[in-house]
Amino acid sequence: MRIPNNQNDDFSKKINGNFNDIENIYFKSIKPFLSTREVNVMLQDGSITNTSTFDPKSVLEFYRSFLKDLKNWDTHEVQLNTDESNRIYCQISTTLDNYIIKGYFGIQFNVLPYYKPDKQVIHIQKELIDLSVKNSALLESVANIGNNTIRQELKNMSLDEMEFEELFERLLQNQELIVKLEDKIKNVERLYPELEGAEKK
């Protein structure tokens, strides 16, 4: 039989009343251990934000103390379950005449993907972002220089006024022209050795 139940007989009313008393005492006792506090946490991108949390360790200690103080009850170790449903709970049981009485006390909570702020991680994250921005800006600058170099070379060969399709066909038919333009690009790239391998990264 599960307690509380919906029966209306005297026995059910009595055990339901006892259940309500136990429930009220339990909620009143555990409430201080569930109080939340504001803490700084780190997100995956290294940024810091503020959130509310409680201390699961204090809840574990509450249940351990609760089990230790019980008399004439069979108790089990406090369980911390961290699968899809994060729970901290304990179970108790005892025999009374022909009845086996079992009790379950626990909490369920959500776990969010936050991290403890780490100055070194934040510093490295910032350096990586700065490096990425710097490389992007440098790559764009080199690309512009390369484009201008190609335009000038095409102009020197009187090919700058051609439509794209016509120029494309000319390149396909003239391997020497392709090699010459590639050499011009390589000369530009040699001016920026720090970009070697940057595009692959």
Q: Is the pLDDT of residue 113 over 50?
A: yes
Q: Write down which residue in 87, 109, 131 finishes a domain.
A: 109
What value does the mean pLDDT take over residues 183-191? Answer: 74
Instruction: Give per-residue pLDDT as tens, 20-71.
Output: 999 999 999 999 999 999 988 877 666 788 888 899 999 999 999 999 988 8
CA angle 151, 157, 162 (to 5 degrees): 65
What value does the mean pLDDT take over residues 76-87? Answer: 86
pLDDT of res. 119: 65
Is 60 in the same domain as 89?
A: yes
> Hey, what are 150's tokens?
């190609």
Expressed as residue numbers, the domain containing 55 is 35-109
Question: Band of the pLDDT at 84, cuts 50, 70, 90?
Answer: confident
Is 126 in the same domain as 179?
A: yes
The chain-wide mean pLDDT, for the chain, equals: 81
pLDDT of res. 197: 53
Is 166 part of any domain?
A: yes
pLDDT of res. 145: 77
Residues 6+ apart with CB under 8 A from 171: 177, 178, 181
Provide, rounded to the nearest whole percent, the portion of the chain with pLDDT above 90: 28
Is 78 in the same domain as 130?
A: no
Distance CA 53, CA 111 (A): 10
> Hey, what are 93's tokens?
């049981």
Distance CA 67, CA 77 (A): 9
- Judged on CB neighbours under 10 Å (0-12, 13-18, 19+), 8 is exposed
Q: Is the pLDDT of residue 201 over 70?
A: no
Least trusted range by pLDDT, from 23-37, 145-159, 187-201:
187-201
Q: Is the pLDDT of residue 171 over 60?
A: yes
Is 135 part of any domain?
A: yes
Q: Write down which residue in 109, 135, 154 finishes a domain.
A: 109
Contact 38, 50 (CB under 8 A): yes
What is this structure's pTM? 0.55
Highest-pLDDT range among 12-16, 91-95, 130-134, 180-184? 91-95
How many distinct structural domains can be found in the chain? 2
pLDDT of res. 183: 81
Contact 54, 68 (CB under 8 A): no
DSSP codes, the chain: --SS----SHHHHHHHHHHHHHHHHHHHHHGGGG--EEEEEE-TTS-EEEEEE--HHHHHHHHHHHHHH--S-EE---EEE-SSSEEEEEEEEEEETTEEEEEEEEEEE-----B---HHHHHHHHHHHHHHHHHHHHHHHHHHHHHHHHHHHHHHTT-TTS-HHHHHHHHHH-HHHHHHHHHHHHHHHHT-GGGTTTTT-
